[in-house]
């Protein structure tokens, strides 16, 4: 009897735990066209169930600035193409995520703000299928955070399309960075991209003391250099990389930066050098594989 009672008690504890876990998960809706706000729902969840999992499904045209702080397993999603637009007159970011784990923003058009989406303070942010067009930087990753981008369009931003700062990391897949006044992306940390495009920006990619790995990436139509590498940056160019028709160099290396060309086409850039080894102490490996004009010297 005693053994049986223990088994029943264990089963009851497991059942209570499962019920508690189920009841904690929230799936809420916001219709901004009815004057509802994402901000109020995020605040409610931050007070009641900050570690989730929680899903907020949004519709309509939202005009607000949203702060997500110290939360986990939160998804903001729209199935009807909702938009979130800045109401701070450019003084704040539209969506700011800090000290949070596994926050997903999916399917929105994000307009204005000093930053469209910010991923800060050791956060993990997942951005999928959004269009981001800010009055400053489109997507900013800082403070040791990691941002995972998939199938976004980052366009028409007044400064960089995106930035990676303070040793943070960004992973980009099938994204389009286009028509940004500054660089498509400015990196001071780590950047890994596959099948993403950098089109018609002020500059394509700039890396300072950073590590890049690019595969299937196209950089074209930049006003300046396609890719600029400074301060000991390292880049590996894997299969399918194309850097062409940029207004400066295709790839510009300086100050002990390294470019490793596993497979890349770097041709037809306007400066007269497709791969430019500028002073000082730059290093390339297999640069002849690019097919372009270069002043790089390999032993």
- Interval 213-251: pLDDT, tens: 999 999 999 999 999 999 999 999 999 999 999 999 999
Residue 280 predicted with pLDDT over 90: no
Distance (Å, rounded) from C-alpha 101 to C-alpha 146? Answer: 10
Confidence at residue 285, expressed as pLDDT on a 0 to 100 scale: 87
Residue 51, helix vs strand vs coil: coil
Residue 211 predicted with pLDDT over 80: yes
256-272: pLDDT as tens digits: 999 999 989 999 999 99
Average pLDDT, integer, range 160-188 = 98
Distance (Å, rounded) from C-alpha 177 to C-alpha 170? Answer: 14
Residue 53 predicted with pLDDT over 90: yes
Residue 158 predicted with pLDDT over 50: yes
Please state which of the ranges 4-8, 100-104, 138-142 shows the lowest mean pLDDT: 4-8
Contact 182, 161 (CB under 8 A): yes
CA dist list (Å): 77 to 59, 149, 182, 218, 251: 9, 15, 29, 29, 38
Predicted TM-score of the model (pTM): 0.89
Chain-wide mean pLDDT for the chain?
92
Quick one: 198 exposed, middle or buried, by C-beta within 10 A (0-12, 13-18, 19+)? Answer: buried
59-102: pLDDT as tens digits: 999 999 999 999 999 999 998 899 999 999 999 999 999 999 99
Confidence at residue 123, expressed as pLDDT on a 0 to 100 scale: 98
Q: How is the chain split into domains, by residue range?
A: 27-290
Contact 227, 250 (CB under 8 A): yes
Assigned architecture for domain 27-290 = 3 Solenoid (2.160)
Residues in the chain: 299
Residue 208 predicted with pLDDT over 50: yes
Measured between its terminal Cα atoms, the distance across the chain in Å is: 82
Residues 281-297, buried b or exposed e (16+ Cβ, 10 A)? ebbbeebeebebbbebe
């Amino acid at each position: 009897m005693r053994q049986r009672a223990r088994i029943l008690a264990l089963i009851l504890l497991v059942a209570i735990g499962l019920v508690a876990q189920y009841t904690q998960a929230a799936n809420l809706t916001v219709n901004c066209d009815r004057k509802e706000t994402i901000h109020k729902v995020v605040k409610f969840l931050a007070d009641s169930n900050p570690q989730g999992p929680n899903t907020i499904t949004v519709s309509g045209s939202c005009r607000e600035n949203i702060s997500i702080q110290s939360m986990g397993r939160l998804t903001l999603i729209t199935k009807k193409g909702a938009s979130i637009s800045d109401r701070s007159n450019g003084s704040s970011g539209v969506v700011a995520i800090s000290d949070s784990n596994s926050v997903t923003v999916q399917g929105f058009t994000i307009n204005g703000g000093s930053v469209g989406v910010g991923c800060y303070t050791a956060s993990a942010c997942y951005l999928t299928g959004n269009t981001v067009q800010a009055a400053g930087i489109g997507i900013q990753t800082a403070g040791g955070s990691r941002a995972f981008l998939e199938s976004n369009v980052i366009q028409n931003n007044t400064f960089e399309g995106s930035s990676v700062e303070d040793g943070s990391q960004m992973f980009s897949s099938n994204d389009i960075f286009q028509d940004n006044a500054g660089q498509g992306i400015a990196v001071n940390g780590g950047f890994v991209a596959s099948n993403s495009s950098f089109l018609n920006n002020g500059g394509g990619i700039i890396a300072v003391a950073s590590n890049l790995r690019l595969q299937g990436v196209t950089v074209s139509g930049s006003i300046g250099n396609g890719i600029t590498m400074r301060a000991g940056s390292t880049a590996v160019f894997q299969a399918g990389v194309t850097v062409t028709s940029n207004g400066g160099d295709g790839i510009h290396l300086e100050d002990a930066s390294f470019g490793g060309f596993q497979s890349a086409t770097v041709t037809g850039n306007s400066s007269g050098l497709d791969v430019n080894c500028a002073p000082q102490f730059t290093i390339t490996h297999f640069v002849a594989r690019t097919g372009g004009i270069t002043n790089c010297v390999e032993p």
